[in-house]
Amino acid sequence: MKIEQIYTGCLAQGAYYLVSNGEAAIIDPLRETQPYMERLEKDGAKLKYIFETHFHADFVSGHLDLSKATGAPIVYGATATPEFEAVIAEDNQIFALGNVKIKVLHTPGHTMESACFLLIDENGKEQALFSGDTLFLGDVGRPDLAQKAANLTQEELAGLLYESLYNKIMPLPDDLIVYPAHGAGSACGKNMMKETVDTLGNQKKMNYALNQPSKEAFVAAVTDGLLPPPAYFGMNVAMNKKGYNSFEQVLNHGMKALSVTEFEAIAENTGALMLDTRNDKAFAKGFIPQSINIGLSGDFAPWVGAMIIDVKQPILLITESGKEEEAITRLSRVGFDNVLGHLKGGFEAWKIAGKEIDIVNRITPQEFAEKVNISEDKIIDVRKETEYAAEHVEEAYSKPLAYINDWIKDLNPQAHFYLHCAGGYRSMIAASILQARGYRNFTEVEGGFNAIAKTEIPKTNFVCQSKIVY
């Protein structure tokens, strides 16, 4: 028996590849299927099942392409209603896989169709639990995403999640290995551990949600502090439930190399968003006017979803040479399939053609420390509120990047301000959006708070509510 966790850091997502006696199963696969096909060929295994823990909100699964390529059926938990052929398993239904068995546990709460998959080895021992978004390490799935589809409140969904966890998961043996669908960094939970594998026994001890004295206390705890989900989540659910274009089709379309003239014409005539995926240092020194920077080197796909919002938005790519396929692949993982092509030769080709370029007014932390007047200058910190609360530049305003569409309209376009995040990645996203919307009245700080903290600038962890703006 082999269990392989295939973890994708950008999405904080875990897919699972299981093989027993020549038969394989894949749980919650990513969009691109080639890595799974290569594993199957290497192991000489036949894919027998594709298990889906639920209709995912934060990424587009590869279930349809994988089923088409292998003939393996797609299996969902009870009450799932996909708009394609699939096996809807009954609660406690068992599927044989080589010498082992997989038992389906219907665990509604995160979503109504949510299921966990219990692995029972050849000796009948319950060995592992593939817990999807029902149980994370250190947390449980948020109960607010499926309210509209279920016609229930988040409190009612949290109550269902309590029943699922306390009646079906908690009685399982302590030595059971828990393999969750997500880890720290995912927007599907709020308190996840950085580890991606643990025992159920340890989770029973340290997971706050599994240590509540009552159902009412559980509901209050898991619904407390939930931030609004990214806008693209609902669109990803729809794609996973209804279907989508094949990954190969999306890739082939996006890999169209466009000359400077073609790129410029398409940008002007289609309203396509120009997405520059270079790192923040390269972007700051020069970029195509009106383009938005979201670097491949960071949490690219989640920030694309948070900033661009509409998965149908036409996109033109500007990438480093050789990074075109990676950018298209990672966009497709969160449902952004409408890539019209990429600029052949990248930004350098644009420069060589003598086209207009723009830059970001960026200074070093040392220059910031020399120039800023804490009591008079406005400083905007675009990190998360929790990062700001831990420590921030004295008198800085907390305006998280995720809510830029809410707070940008309140900026005075004539009043200068300084802009920073933790390391430069998020502040450059903000800077590109600001400049695309006509704001030129700011200075961005290279290296962000991590570098600023090494200077003599006054810092504090005192939080003034008037300084927190969403």
Pair 190, 320 in one domain: no
Pair 228, 263 in one domain: no
Q: Please report whether residue 222 resides in a domain.
A: yes
Beta carbons of 159 and 101 less than 8 angstroms apart: no
| Domain that includes residue 322, residue range | 245-352
Q: Assign residue 92 the CATH number of its domain.
A: 3.60.15.10
Q: Assign residue 273 the CATH number of its domain.
A: 3.40.250.10
Pair 347, 276 in one domain: yes
Q: Which of 318, 352, 386 is the last residue of a domain?
A: 352
Pair 179, 62 in one domain: yes
Beta carbons of 13 and 227 less than 8 angstroms apart: no
Q: Which of 352, 377, 409 is the last residue of a domain?
A: 352
Q: Please report whether residue 239 resides in a domain.
A: no
Count CA atoms within 13 Å of residue 288 on its CB side: 27
Entry pTM: 0.93
Pair 324, 392 in one domain: no
Pair 119, 188 in one domain: yes
Q: Please report whether residue 67 resides in a domain.
A: yes
Pair 208, 267 in one domain: no
Pair 340, 431 in one domain: no
Q: What is the pLDDT along the chain (470 residues), one digit of tens a residue?
A: 999 999 999 899 999 999 999 999 999 999 999 999 999 999 999 999 999 999 999 999 999 999 999 999 999 999 999 999 999 999 999 999 999 999 999 999 999 999 999 999 999 999 999 999 999 999 999 999 999 888 999 999 999 999 999 999 999 999 999 999 999 988 888 889 999 999 999 999 999 999 999 999 999 999 998 888 888 999 999 999 999 999 999 999 999 999 999 999 999 999 999 999 999 999 999 999 999 999 999 899 999 999 998 999 999 999 999 999 999 999 999 999 999 999 999 999 999 999 999 999 999 999 999 999 999 999 999 999 989 999 999 999 999 999 999 999 999 999 999 999 999 999 999 999 999 999 999 999 999 999 999 999 999 987 766 677 65
Classify 15 as helix, strand or coil. strand
Q: Please report whether residue 329 resides in a domain.
A: yes
How many structural domains does the chain have?
Answer: 3
Pair 378, 323 in one domain: no
Q: Which of 306, 334, 352 is the last residue of a domain?
A: 352
Q: Please report whether residue 240 resides in a domain.
A: no
What's the one-letter identity of residue 467? K
Please give the C-alpha separations between residue 466 and each of 58, 74, 419, in angstroms, as whole numbers: 32, 51, 18
Q: Please report whether residue 357 resides in a domain.
A: no
